[in-house]
Amino acid sequence: MAEIESESQFVWKFIWNILLTPITLVMIIFKKKQVGDLFKPFADFFRFVWEPKFTVMIILLNIAAFFYSSTFSEATMSSLANYPSDVLQISQWHTLITSGFLHLNLAHLLGNMAAIFIFGRAVERTLGFWKTAAVYFGALVVSNIFSSLISLYLLGENMGGVGASGALMGLVSVAILMDPFYLTYELIVPLPIMVVGWIAIYGDITGILNPAEDGIGHLAHVGGFLSVMATMFFLNFQDKAKLKKGLLINIASIAVIYGIYFFFLQDKISAVLP
């Protein structure tokens, strides 16, 4: 399996190459380097983007599906969206997959694809193409089934859902367990990927506890997070060991952060806030 460069490796190499540009120019003048060497940072960028093959493929498929679906009638869109009642009809099980390639608007699509690029890359550099594909599609199916059953039997709702968010959250859960200290620049400031994952999980839990008409399928997201339990069946002993170690690291990190807040920061924050 070809090694996939981390975000930190790329960022620091890119910055270094940019800083070397004046020296490269001088060396070109003295014919010690070729003009093409000036474009090395851009070549590195394109290589960085295309390295995670499955991640790039699924992003391109989602983009193509989005523009193609813009030609669909409302009836066709409805037939491809996932309704909770679909889980009870074998003839509608295809919606467990097709709904993951439909998005409400461009912002919905771009938000999901940007996150898939980050978390998909983190997973694929550890698990490779096929296992990442299993994680993605497994999470998509599990998240839709989970959301459907909760909606039908607890909430009594049958509203259609679309989007790749459930699959994305499957990638998030595996990423924060497989490589919790992997640095991502998704929020501009470099943060361990487990912290970014916690933020996503916290947002979904609060979204469920405090329902709002935000159009976000928080139940599907939670189903995506939980799909990591099904993912275990696709992994070998070493991968499972990494997941277990990552789980312990996440639990310990949360405990330490909560302890610092409870013993040192709670009173100070309470004194500042009204």
- Spatial separation of the C-alpha atoms in residues 112 and 169, rounded to whole Å: 10
Residue carrying structure tokens 């608007």: 105
The first and second tokens of residue 185, run together, are 């620049």
Longest dimension (CA), the chain: 75
pLDDT tens readout for residues 180-198: 999 999 888 899 999 999 9
pLDDT at residue 207, rounded to an integer: 72
- Number of other residues whose CB lies within 10 A of the CB of residue 129: 15
Residues of the chain with CATH 1.20.1540.10: 53-272
pLDDT at 273: 59
pTM: 0.88
CA pair distance 61, 224, nearest whole angstrom = 20
Encoded tokens for 222: 């939670």
CATH class label, 53-272? mainly alpha
* Strand ranges (E), 110-193: 183-184, 191-192
Looking up tokens 């607890």, which residue turns up? 154
Q: What is the dihedral of CA 134, 140, 251, 52, to 10 degrees?
A: 50
- For residues 50 and 72, what is the distance between their CA atoms, to the nearest angstrom? 30
Residue 130: pLDDT above 60?
Answer: yes
What's the residue count for the chain? Answer: 274
Q: Which of 201, 195, 202 is nearest to 181 (CA)?
A: 195
Confidence band, pLDDT 50/70/90 cuts, at residue 211: low
- Confidence at residue 262, expressed as pLDDT on a 0 to 100 scale: 80
Q: 236 — phi, psi (to 5°)?
A: -85, 180
pLDDT band per the 50, 70, 90 thresholds, residue 274: low
Q: What is the pLDDT of residue 40?
A: 87
